[in-house]
A = this chain, B = another copy of it.
């Protein structure tokens, strides 16, 4: 009797502050990747070949996911049936225990399906908080889950940010808006931004904060794929526009320069406010 292999697409959520990012790291580091925990939990499925998660969308240290995705192959002993989707979710979550990582959904897919290459688009949400004169004024329930841009500016010029975001929409060479690392120099820098919205957003229990003038905003971007740190650079540049440090026209000019070094070094947004919202197939 042959042992058969089954491929699954799983969707999962995590609180990124605890992890070195989503991707696997060597297990001897003090802080490891979300993937390390996923694969450790998957060993409890007793596969005959170690299970690898092929993750659709990289996220950095401190970046969160409302929903990321990955595919994995499970090869069981001959004669054992393929796991049912609910069984798989339950077993993985049981072994993830108290880690702030949670499997949301699982779907059996064909062998040709690839979590990364089959994805049609990714949506990111970045949470901003205004009304804080100092980071210590961030509500304790929102720490690590938003960015309160520093400075004397307690509000942002949102219409200017919305005007600037229009320059980012569409197909561009985003070279200025990527960070370089050893893996990126040969990656093509042209991307198509399908959505760039800035909307007011609720905060956690903010309907109970009657005494404060805190305002939450969400910047949402959708694209087939993004360059390394592109979202954090785009958000940081839009915030600089909202603070009056850059003009909307400067965003257009930064795009046209096509040079990572031209990006104002002060402007990259921190990881704490960034959430991968969804991977669309």
Say yes or no: is A1 at the interface (Cβ < 8 Å to chain B): no
Judge whether A139 and B13 touch: CB under 8 Å: yes
The interface bits of chain A over 143-180 (1 if a CB of B lies within 8 angstroms of the residue's CB, else 0) are: 10100000000000000000000000000000000000
Judge whether B202 and A14 touch: CB under 8 Å: no
Judge whether B100 and A140 touch: CB under 8 Å: yes
Say yes or no: is A209 at the interface (Cβ < 8 Å to chain B): yes
Say yes or no: is A137 at the interface (Cβ < 8 Å to chain B): yes
Judge whether B102 and A66 touch: CB under 8 Å: no
A139 to chain B, nearest CB (A): 7
Given A66-B208, A125-B208, check contact A141 B136 (CB 8 Å): no
Judge whether A209 and B100 touch: CB under 8 Å: no
Q: How many residues of A contact B (CB 8 A)?
A: 36
**How far apart sit A211 and B280, CA to CA, in the bound complex (Å)?**
13
**How far apart sit A108 and B66, CA to CA, in the bound complex (Å)?**
44
A90 to chain B, nearest CB (A): 8
Say yes or no: is A258 at the interface (Cβ < 8 Å to chain B): no
**A201: B residues at CB distance < 8 A:** 207
A239 to chain B, nearest CB (A): 20
Say yes or no: is A252 at the interface (Cβ < 8 Å to chain B): no
**How far apart sit A14 and B143, CA to CA, in the bound complex (Å)?**
11
Judge whether B15 and A102 touch: CB under 8 Å: no
Given A94-B136, A105-B211, check contact A143 B204 (CB 8 Å): no
Judge whether A205 and B102 touch: CB under 8 Å: no
**A202: B residues at CB distance < 8 A:** 202, 207
**A207: B residues at CB distance < 8 A:** 201-202
Given A102-B136, A104-B211, A211-B105, check contact A205 B66 (CB 8 Å): yes
A87 to chain B, nearest CB (A): 13
**9 nearest A-B residue pairs (beta carbon):** A100-B140, A93-B136, A204-B204, A15-B140, A66-B208, A102-B140, A13-B140, A202-B202, A208-B277
25 A-B residue pairings within 8 Å (CB atoms):
A13-B139, A15-B140, A15-B141, A64-B141, A66-B208, A90-B136, A93-B134, A93-B136, A93-B137, A94-B136, A96-B136, A100-B140, A100-B143, A101-B140, A102-B137, A102-B140, A104-B211, A105-B211, A145-B204, A201-B207, A202-B202, A202-B207, A208-B275, A208-B277, A208-B278
